[in-house]
Amino acid sequence: MRERLEEKRWSYGDVARRGGISKSTVHHLATAERPAQMPQPTTLQGLARGLGLPLDLVRRAAAQSCGIYVYEPAPEPEVDMLIASLQQLSARDRGHVAALVESLLAGDE
């Protein structure tokens, strides 16, 4: 994001106005070393609009800055299905899935 701001000589305010999001949100996303969580979809849409970049590119960059690896394409159909379906689970159910994965991975050691 910082490269795009420098390239276009835009301020945080410019991107915020173009994208319909707050200047503080743009500032936080541009300056945070590693965001604690993935930005909301509407924030990513606004950021993409504000930066004049494709949403997929912005989403992928945001995921990577949060330490989330983005598989493209997924290495196996099961992985693709798991990734896609996690968004549909409740927070409680995602916690169960995470605990199961941790348990399975610990069993491999």
Q: Where are the domains of the chain?
A: 2-65, 77-107
Position 75 confidence tier, pLDDT thresholds 50, 70, 90 = low
The residues, any chain, with a CB within 8 Å of residue 98's CB and separated by 6 or more, are none
In words, the CATH class of domain 2-65 is mainly alpha
Tell me the average pLDDT across 68-75.
67
Q: What is the pTM of this model?
A: 0.65
Q: Hey, what's the torsion of the CAs at 53, 72, 38, 94, to 10 degrees?
A: 150
The residues, any chain, with a CB within 8 Å of residue 78's CB and separated by 6 or more, are none
Q: Rounded CA gap, 27 and 61, in Å? A: 16
- For 18-27, 56-65, 75-84, which range has the lowest pLDDT when averaged over its residues? 75-84
- Positive/negative CA dihedral, 27, 30, 47, 84: negative
Position 85 confidence tier, pLDDT thresholds 50, 70, 90 = confident
